[in-house]
């Protein structure tokens, strides 16, 4: 049912974000495409059309100046002829003519070095032919003028040079206009591309905004459905837990009645049998207490009862009695080193569950062989009660101290039964009661798990003079403080291999 509710929204959310990404990519691609075309067209203007116009105008100007200088030179030759003066080999006007001719040639060569525009080559060929005609006829006219034949030079100038120069000027003007038209056309295309690019980018950006808004609405809807599903699952889990608790406690009641009947009517003479019978009855009662308190804690939304109180010494003694048969079976020495009298702000069943998890975890993973020990201690420390469970097993694997309290985390070579929820449950329940948990592992020296719970007000007053360093956080866990009644501590060493992850 949950999958049917969540999956369509999740798919729609993924599709919406995919559309936003595609729209963004399209907008970027369109902008880049327009930018490439604009830059290409801009190069036509800056690298071809505009320089061509500049060089052609320079060429045209020098051509007109050259004809003017030649006209002046021929006029001076006519004046000398009328004055019957001797012709000169070179004059200042001749030098100016040569300089102008050189500049005209440079301008023409600079133009020819540029890229030719479409339909420009025919005009350029015409200008080249006219330029050759003008310069050739002009050279002959100047040569005749220098030889004293001024009238011949004037005739060449008027009949051949000036008509050819006018045709050359007209052809150059047409070339200039052709380049100007191309520049205008390309500039218009650049303008259209720019406006089209802006419109396309705005459209795609608007589409991206709409898709983003749609995605945000889908996210909101998704989380609303998820919250409803979580609330529904929480209610179902609470009902399920209630049902399980009822189903578990009902046979426990029958077992408790049976053990009570045996204790009262069984006439059991074996002292060990009567002891085991009493131990079984206490275990059943403690199991009922744990189930009731945990169910009440879960039903309250993981909010602890502020008026709850639990006797630390009494709970630890009961847990030790329950765990001792398993420890004896594995030849593990289970020691209660010292427990300060006091109470904590916690239900008795919850405290029993917390301590039992730590003790059973230590007994399970301390290992086999002689000399294995599990030591339990508790003391009041600055308004809290610290409970420590220490073993001399192999220790935790490297880098697992910060992850050992995470759900479903187990050691890489852990072959003990379990799914890795025990320590995670301890951490969450302790933190829900305002306490903290920590672990310190040393290679070959074992582990020390510790939890702190707020002491009840009366216990705080009795132990107000005590003060020690606060419990370290799991992210940077120095020594938890595994000290026995004589103040002996275990030296902190690098983490070593262990299977202590339950």
Of 431, 447, 462, which residue constitutes the final position of a domain?
462
Residues 210, 343: one domain?
no
In this structure, is residue 388 part of a structural domain? yes
345 CB-side CA count, 13 A: 21
Beta bridge partners of 386: 379, 452
195-209, 212-226, 239-253: segment of lowest average pLDDT: 239-253
Enumerate residues 6+ apart whose C-beta is below 8 A from 363. Answer: 323, 326, 327, 330, 332, 334, 374
Inform me whether the pLDDT recorded for 502 exceeds 60.
no
Q: Which residue has the higher pLDDT, 200 or 454?
A: 454
What is the C-alpha separation between 491 and 479, in angstroms, rounded? 8
- Residue 448, classed as helix, strand or coil, is strand
- Residue for token digits 């060089």? 55
| CATH number of the domain enclosing 161 | 1.20.120.30
CATH number at residue 432: 3.30.565.10
Of the chain, the percentage scoring pLDDT greater than 90 comes to 16
* Same structural domain, 316 and 431: yes
What is the β-pairing status of strands 384-391 and 446-454?
antiparallel
The pair of three-digit structure tokens given for residue 403, joined into one six-digit string = 């992850």
pLDDT in tens, 414-460: 545 444 567 888 888 899 889 999 998 887 778 999 999 999 886 44
Q: What is the pLDDT of residue 389?
A: 94
pLDDT at 330 over 80: yes
The residue among 215, 239, 256 that closes a domain is: 215
Is pLDDT at 170 greater than 90 in this prediction?
Answer: yes
pLDDT classification of 481: cutoffs 50, 70, 90: very low
Average pLDDT (340-360) is 88
Who has greater pLDDT, 8 or 342? 342
Q: What is the pLDDT of residues 50-69, one digit of tens each?
A: 999 999 999 999 989 988 88
Instruction: Check residue 413 and give its pLDDT.
Output: 52
Q: What is the pLDDT of residues 289-302, one digit of tens each?
A: 777 766 666 666 66
Q: Residue 470 has what pLDDT? A: 41
Instruction: Show the tokens assigned to 75.
Output: 């006029």
* Higher per-residue confidence, 90 vs 81: 81
CA nearest 426: which of 481, 494, 359? Answer: 359
Query: For residues 483 and 476, what is the distance between their CA atoms, to the nearest angstrom?
Result: 20
How far, in Å, CA of 78 to CA of 60, rounded? 27
| 301 in a structural domain | no
Query: Which residues, at least 6 apart from 309, have a Cβ–Cβ distance to it below 8 Å?
Result: 343, 344, 345, 346, 456
Considering only CA atoms, give the Rg of the chain.
52
Contact 357, 425 (CB under 8 A): yes
CA distance 352 to 318: 8
Structural domain range at position 337? 307-462
Q: Is residue 83 part of a domain?
A: yes
Euclidean distance between CA atoms 30 and 47, whole angstroms: 25
Cβ within 8 Å of residue 146, ≥6 positions away: 77, 87, 88, 89, 94
pLDDT band at 86 (very low <50, low <70, confident <90, very high): low
Average pLDDT of every residue of the chain: 77
**Torsion sign, CA atoms 249, 253, 256, 258:** negative
The pLDDT value recorded for residue 489 is 35
Average pLDDT over residues 37-54: 89
- Residue 45 DSSP one-character state: I
Domain boundary residue, one of 185, 215, 245: 215
Same domain flag for 158 and 23: yes
Q: How many percent of the chain have pLDDT more than 70?
A: 74
Report the interhelical angle of 121-146 vs 50-82 (nearest 10°).
20
491 pLDDT higher than 60: no
> Tokens representing 71?
């006209």
451 and 339 in a single domain? The answer is yes
């Amino acid at each position: 049912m949950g999958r049917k509710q969540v999956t369509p929204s999740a798919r729609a959310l993924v599709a919406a974000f995919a559309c936003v990404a595609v729209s963004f990519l399209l907008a970027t691609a369109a902008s880049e495409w327009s930018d490439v075309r604009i830059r290409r067209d801009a190069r036509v203007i800056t690298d071809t059309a505009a320089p061509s116009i500049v060089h052609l105008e320079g060429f045209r100007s020098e051509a007109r100046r050259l004809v003017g200088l030649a006209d002046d030179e021929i006029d001076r030759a006519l004046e000398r002829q009328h004055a019957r003066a001797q012709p000169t080999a070179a004059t200042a006007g001749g030098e100016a003519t040569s300089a102008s001719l050189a500049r005209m040639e440079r301008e023409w060569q600079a133009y020819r070095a540029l890229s030719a525009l479409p339909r420009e080559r025919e005009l350029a060929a015409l200008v080249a032919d006219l330029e050759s005609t003008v310069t050739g006829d002009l050279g002959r006219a100047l040569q005749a003028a220098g030889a004293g034949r001024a009238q011949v030079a004037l005739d060449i100038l008027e009949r051949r040079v000036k008509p050819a120069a006018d045709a050359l000027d007209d052809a150059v003007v047409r070339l200039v206009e052709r380049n100007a038209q191309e520049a205008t056309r390309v500039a218009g295309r650049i303008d259209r591309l720019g406006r089209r690019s802006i419109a396309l980018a705005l459209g795609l950006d608007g589409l991206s905004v709409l898709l983003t808004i749609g995605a945000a609405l889908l996210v909101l809807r998704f989380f609303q459905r998820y919250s409803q599903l979580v609330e529904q699952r929480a209610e179902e889990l609470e009902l399920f837990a209630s049902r399980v608790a009822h189903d578990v406690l009902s046979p426990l009641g029958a077992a408790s009645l049976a053990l009570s009947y045996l204790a009262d009517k069984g006439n059991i003479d074996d002292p060990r049998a009567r002891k085991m019978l009493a131990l079984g009855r206490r275990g059943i009662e403690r199991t009922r207490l744990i189930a009731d308190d945990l169910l009440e804690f879960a039903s309250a939304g993981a909010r602890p009862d502020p008026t709850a109180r639990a006797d630390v010494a009494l709970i630890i003694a009961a847990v030790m009695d329950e765990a001792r048969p398993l420890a004896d079976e594995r030849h593990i020495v289970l020691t209660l080193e010292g427990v300060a009298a006091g109470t904590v702000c916690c239900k008795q069943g919850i405290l029993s569950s917390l301590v039992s998890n730590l003790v059973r975890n230590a007994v399970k993973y301390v290992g086999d062989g002689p000399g294995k020990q599990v030591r339990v201690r508790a003391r009041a420390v600055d308004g809290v009660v610290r409970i420590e469970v220490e073993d001399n097993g192999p220790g935790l694997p490297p880098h697992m101290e910060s992850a050992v309290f995470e759900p479903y985390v187990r050691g890489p070579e852990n072959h003990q039964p379990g799914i890795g929820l025990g320590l995670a449950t301890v951490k969450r329940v302790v933190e829900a009661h305002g306490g903290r948990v920590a672990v310190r592992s040393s290679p070959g020296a074992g582990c020390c798990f510790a939890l702190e719970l707020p002491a009840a007000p009366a216990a705080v007053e009795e132990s107000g003079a005590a003060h020690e360093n606060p419990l370290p956080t799991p992210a940077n866990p120095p020594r938890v403080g595994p000290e026995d009644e004589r103040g002996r501590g275990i030296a902190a060493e690098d983490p070593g291999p262990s299977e202590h992850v339950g």
